[in-house]
Structure 1
Amino acid sequence: MDQRITFVTLAVADLTATKEFYLAALGWEASYQDETVLMLQVAPGVMLSFWDVTEFEAEVGPVKLGQAPLTLAHNCRSAQAVDSVLRTAVNAGGTLLVPGTARAWGGYSGYFSDPTGYRWEIAWNPSPLGERLLDEADAAAQL
């Protein structure tokens, strides 16, 4: 697993208010948005994502008191790479939460938690946005 974070995803109860705050009030620009998610590029190869809590829980699992409703994400270039990283994490002592699964948004992802309980999404996003983030992360790693 490369030493890289491509997404930080935060579950939010009111996505409309979140969009109004970041886009209208702060003047940030969306890299992607729909009725369930808002993505803001905050650095080369790094996206801050706000996800409707109901959709978040449907994919990641329930939000629990004392457990931050967020995931860190590591993107890969294929579904096979996702499965490989998940195996590596579990073999290293992580806990598999959700095995690699084809997603309605067109990609493939699974989840593990580290020994402290922080949840990681390992994802393949075959969109131009997903490829661009990986290209930027690769370029930054060369510096």
Structure 2
Amino acid sequence: MKISRVTILTLGVADLDKATTFYHAVLGTPPNIADGITFIQLPGTWLALYPFEKLAEDISPDVPVTRSGFNGVTIAHNAHNKNDVVEILSRAEAAGARIVKAPQETFWGGFSGYFSDLDGYYWEVAWGPMFEFTENGEMKFKEEA
């Protein structure tokens, strides 16, 4: 049996060029642009950016094209340590994000903060003592000693 995984997370964006510049600044990974879609290759799961209306149209002409408020989804960027959380949130703010929750200790023993990107998507930037990263950057639970 093959393992299922999420391979690409696509965000519908208002301005593809601005979103591409924003995510390059925040994530530090050079984007690849092909056929009007931006792909940002990350360990495990890629991020794709596509014009909002075109994404809705690709799903179905019957999908309502609306945007407002919190839709119940957040995206997480897990960091290697607390300082990385602060640095990533600072880069996001410098690139135009709105800091929604300043970095702070969490109830679950970690450290995190939230930003809202140019299109209103909410990102948590977090560090957790129960996580570690493989050589190729994939996150996993720490093995018990």
Task: Between the two structures, name the one with larger relative contact order (CA 8 Å, sep ≥ 6).
Answer: 1
Q: TM-score, normalised by structure 2?
A: 0.48
